[in-house]
Amino acid sequence: MPETYIARSSAIAARILGNEMMIMSAMDSTFFTLNEVATVIWQAADGRTPLSEIVERRICQGFEIEPEVARRDAEQFVNALSEHGILLISDQPILEPKLGASETR
């Protein structure tokens, strides 16, 4: 099964509040509030780390969740955000991820 790599798009506005990330797509003005687990995935989306590694090292070790459930949920989350142009998905490392220039922490 091929790896999935994810990177944050530059066509977003994002801000972290507490343990949640608020993201708005510049493409369609869709607004997302990410829970703590989704925020971890978002922050790890560097284009070079496979999604499976993010799930294994950051989600399964940091939260009480079964690996299979975590992988399935992460894939659904990533696919949903990619449909709005918020995350970029590739089966190869994304060498020059377009990180959100308007992201603040």
pLDDT of residue 104: 37
Decide if 51 contacts 74 (C-beta within 8 A): yes
pLDDT-derived band at 19 (thresholds 50, 70, 90) equals confident
Task: Indicate if the pLDDT at residue 105 is higher than 80.
Answer: no
On whether residue 49 sits in a domain, the answer given is yes
Q: Which residues are registered as beta bridge partners of 17?
A: 20
pLDDT tens for residues 27-84?
888 899 999 999 999 999 999 999 999 999 999 999 989 999 999 999 999 999 998 8
Whether 64 maps to a domain, the answer reads yes
Residue predicted with more confidence, 20 or 91? 91
Q: How far apart are CA 76 and CA 92, in angstroms?
A: 19
Cα 28–chain centre separation: 18
Flag whether 74 is in a domain. Answer: yes
Flag whether 102 is in a domain: no
Q: 49: domain range? A: 35-90
- Quick check: is 9 in a domain? no
Examine residue 40 and state whether it is found in any structural domain, yes or no.
Answer: yes
Task: Flag whether 65 is in a domain.
Answer: yes
Which residue in 62, 82, 72 sits closest to 19, CA to CA? 62
Q: How many domains does the chain have?
A: 1
Residue among 20, 34, 1 nearest 105 (CA) = 20
Burial class (CB in 10 A: 0-12, 13-18, 19+), 18: exposed
Whether 56 maps to a domain, the answer reads yes
